Structure 1
């Protein structure tokens, strides 16, 4: 590193095509009107200061940092070099053969070598204080150069105090280091040694950026390596990347941009070139990883969908910062790479969403869910859609450019609630309504596999209830709207009513229309017998049924009980004693009203042994009512 940074210069001041900035204006007095003694005095003063800190002639200067030992003297050194540089301009403009020119050139080369060493030492010794995190969290205070044409000594500490006494010790150290680096950079650039200064800066600062990217877990990886990884390994890399991008953008690159802009404030072209070469490789590596993931041939799983959405969100949410930090023309490839990753992620998300829709439509299993309960397709699809709803803002940007789903063969009522004055919002709402509709249509087809029609309606009620529940308890409620929810809640009630009518209608019909009407003992016996048979059959059959949602379960049971128990109680109270003696009552009156309520309360859990339950309950009822 030392041999690279401190090699002797072979390009002289005169042969350098670089010119000093216009801010270092030349004195109006021509050389012939400037006394020889004044020129000699300026050169001698510069010689005294420069040779004092010549590392080749002074052991002390070789092992000591000028800026660390005595910053006031360091500023005097800078002033002497600037004065020497201006005198050299005057000499060249008036008499390029002046005998002092060679001496001045030699002094300038020694001074540049010294400043190059100081520049390297400040960057190296203050890595902890010039780290990107410190740069990004401190205000971008710019220490103005205190040197001007042949002015008297001005301490840079005066400028630093103006920043306020509340600056922390770390900020003070970093501010001093930044001021020193800026002073050296301006001096070397003015003297035509910009290349030597910039090379030192690039070597040290690029190593910091590259090390930071590596420590964040972002490593160079090829497309073939991504395709060969199992999902667990790739998922871990994606998680690391999601954490890394926040730190890299808001700390690593932002902090480096602040430091680079400050140190090389005197030259826009140098700032651009320097920051580009330092950050381009690391930034391209960072923003290129999502594109590799998006283009990978991994299975179309839900995990990949949500990781792709996470990465898309991470880039899009930081897009303003990305454009600001990499706003230079030279860094446009970095912006292009970030944009390319967004496009590839968008295409991947579209493909994964299409695959999801296709997987629902192609679900071919004819296996029946016991008891008409919740189908795994319903729970899996709605979990997927409810999680997608959390990314509605991102999906709005992505889906707005996609073609809308075909509506020709589907009822327009499914899309009534998705109308919106905002086209992107309407597009995302329509897309989600479509996906839910695809699921409901598939479930409707699966319901037809049940031979018992009542069970098919219970299946539809169960699954639609779960759909509505997931919509109401997620961001889907804002995408599909309250009208959609209300309409489908009504469908759930309709399905439940159809189930109740088909499954329990015969039980309701087994009781007389007027339960308190006078009838003969034989008619009473026949009515009780008819009810017993009907209720036993319905209960035994429906005891295996399932209502997965507690609210739906209670609503169905309450509805059945409301239609059955009051009528049976009236009939029971009126005609129980008409069937004959105690023996006849024990034979024909098998259920008390309380028994009916107990049986109904045990329904729709799908775990009842109906025969033992009925037997036990009936026995206890007889003992209770015939004692």
Structure 2
């Protein structure tokens, strides 16, 4: 295209005259050699009004006679005979040629618009010229008629050259006027986010209404005369230059992708953000503006749409080079998922901005292919999360039963992913339609009758599979703890963390659903019961009344053993479980309340009934080390993860 445009900058229109017939002269000049000098003499000494006065004609009279001639040409059925050329044709041609010369001598940026009436008459005359060339060219011409035909065509070509120059000048002047602040451009983010649509149109599409009117008249005249290709090429060239300048202003740059690949991911994220911002600027601002401009200038919607699509194609091919280059790396690590989803959503917006006209079919297809490939990359990244859970086979348990880092990472990842749930739904649906789904169904993907639920979304299915994998992984890791009580603390911590993450996010709750929440809550209750049985069941046995009385009397030796066992067990629980961690405050409170509700009443009752059977003094001090209030203090300090400090606080309390 550049080669064609460069060859036409001189205004000689080498591609003009596609309609030339067999009687056209063998010259590339716009004017016939035998009339060229005469035309220029006429241009210098004679104005169009003078020509009309010389022949005693008014403009309307002359056009009326020319109209009659055109009508006779159009109505003629026999094209084998040359038509008779009326005398007024010479007057008409002289007048048009003189008017062209007048326009040509004006300043480059002010050829039209000085006199609207004159401009209107001139464009009307060009319409007549175009019709004469069209209809006269259908006849078999003799030598006399050929001269008129060629002279008419030469003048029309000269007019088209004038119009093309003015057409480009008006578009180019408006382009420059919109960049008057190019020396101090706003930052890219300001130019997009700190300006509204109207302001952007005012700055970028700075065409006064009178300029639009002239450009539209010029385009209409050129297209009617058969110079649509030249008009469109000129329009595309000027607008592409303007759009390239705007791209640069917005911070667009062509990347050396090898350099990009060597960047740290944080830097790559910044470049992706910049790309998505520029694409959004195109879809929200540039594309609507260009569509509006083409509709204003070109009367026919098909031409206007084609012009817009040509420009959109040029911009979009440039924009698509970035995501296509990203896909070449095939570095689909799961932390990159969300930036790829941003790219996917941006490409969806880009397709909407292009529109669905048939002339944009290839462009939409190309963009859709890139979007689909980005979607497949996103699927790979999400599935890598599954693989990371499956492959996490660490044999070292998390200290003190705390929430496992894998649990935190996975749940936060899923919570963030659910903010893209609509996009991920599209991505997985597209993937399943293309590749088919061979994966197992998640545990909660069946109804009460055990039948598969057909209305589960693709993304929800995928998310619940990840949750199932995480549950299985947590259960496996819980077996690394030798202490059964700590195992249940670990299960409660991780299960509670998952539950709270789901509850705190409407997006992830909507995907997981009530069934999952009920199941997880039920599991947590069971873990709680198992913990109490493993930890405090043996403690409560120490306070059992059974076996303490022999022949109706309390056995002091047995009673002493019971107190000793209680003291030892409780001290061991204090030492170990004060170091255990329960990070969820509500869960910690629930555990403490439930322990207190079981242990303290039982101990108070046991102490009240059997404490007096021990001799007061040293015997009671030796075996009764805790009062109910002391037990309550210790229970309230369990699961803090700081055994040493708890022990010190307890000793201080007991010494008071």
**Bin for the TM-score computed over the shorter chain:** 0.7 to 0.9
Deviations 1:9-66 (A, max 9, x none): 4577595479xxxxx99843459999945434433432342222223xxxxx144512
Residue 565 of structure 1 contacts residue 596 of structure 1 at CA under 8 Å; is this kept in 2?
yes
Deviations 1:393-450 (A, max 9, x none): 2222222343546549x9x567558999984634332222211111111111111111
Deviations 1:358-397 (A, max 9, x none): 1111112212211111111111111112222222222222
Note the 1:164-243 alignment, pairs <5 A: 173-221=207-255, 224=258, 226-243=260-277
1:606–1:414 distance in 2 versus 1, CA, 3 Å:
farther
Residue 507 of structure 1 contacts residue 538 of structure 1 at CA under 8 Å; is this kept in 2?
no
The whole-number CA distance in structure 2 between the counterparts of 1:396 and 1:64 is 55
Are 2:170 and 1:122 aligned? yes
Deviations 1:194-233 (A, max 9, x none): 3432332121111122333444444444665554443233
Residue 8 of structure 1 contacts residue 113 of structure 1 at CA under 8 Å; is this kept in 2?
yes
Residue 12 of structure 1 contacts residue 105 of structure 1 at CA under 8 Å; is this kept in 2?
no
Q: Which moved more, 1:92-101 or 1:542-551?
A: 92-101
Structure 1 residue 509 displacement after superposition: 1.7
1:414–1:438 distance in 2 versus 1, CA, 3 Å:
farther
1:14–1:445 distance in 2 versus 1, CA, 3 Å:
closer
The whole-number CA distance in structure 2 between the counterparts of 1:611 and 1:335 is 70
1:119–1:420 distance in 2 versus 1, CA, 3 Å:
farther
Partner residue, 1:360: 389
1:481–1:515 distance in 2 versus 1, CA, 3 Å:
farther
Q: Pick the aligned partner of 2:498 from 449, 467, 470.
A: 467
1:102–1:334 distance in 2 versus 1, CA, 3 Å:
closer
Are 2:498 and 1:455 aligned? no
TM-score by length of 2: 0.77
Residue 543 of structure 1 contacts residue 606 of structure 1 at CA under 8 Å; is this kept in 2?
yes
Structure 1 residue 616 displacement after superposition: 2.6
1:343–1:376 distance in 2 versus 1, CA, 3 Å:
same
Partner residue, 1:606: 641
Note the 1:531-610 alignment, pairs <5 A: 531-609=566-644, 610=646
Residue 120 of structure 1 contacts residue 201 of structure 1 at CA under 8 Å; is this kept in 2?
yes
Partner residue, 2:71: 28
Partner residue, 1:498: 530
Partner residue, 1:618: 654
Partner residue, 2:404: 375
The whole-number CA distance in structure 2 between the counterparts of 1:199 and 1:211 is 18
Are 2:323 and 1:294 aligned? no
Residue 457 of structure 1 contacts residue 496 of structure 1 at CA under 8 Å; is this kept in 2?
yes
Partner residue, 2:63: none
Residue 400 of structure 2 contacts residue 641 of structure 2 at CA under 8 Å; is this kept in 1?
yes
Residue 123 of structure 2 contacts residue 221 of structure 2 at CA under 8 Å; is this kept in 1?
yes
Partner residue, 2:541: 509
Counting matched residue pairs gives: 573
Partner residue, 2:511: 479
Deviations 1:566-595 (A, max 9, x none): 222233344555533344443333222222
TM-score by length of 1: 0.80
Q: Pairwise CA RMSD of aligned residues?
A: 3.8
Structure 1 residue 357 displacement after superposition: 0.9
The whole-number CA distance in structure 2 between the counterparts of 1:418 and 1:430 is 18
Structure 1 residue 278 displacement after superposition: 3.0
Q: Pick the aligned partner of 2:158 from 110, 127, 137.
A: 110
1:333–1:14 distance in 2 versus 1, CA, 3 Å:
closer
Structure 1: which 5+ residue stretches go unaligned? 19-23, 56-60, 139-166, 621-627
Residue 227 of structure 1 contacts residue 297 of structure 1 at CA under 8 Å; is this kept in 2?
no
The whole-number CA distance in structure 1 between the counterparts of 2:481 and 2:239 is 71
1:26–1:223 distance in 2 versus 1, CA, 3 Å:
farther
Structure 1 residue 473 displacement after superposition: 2.0
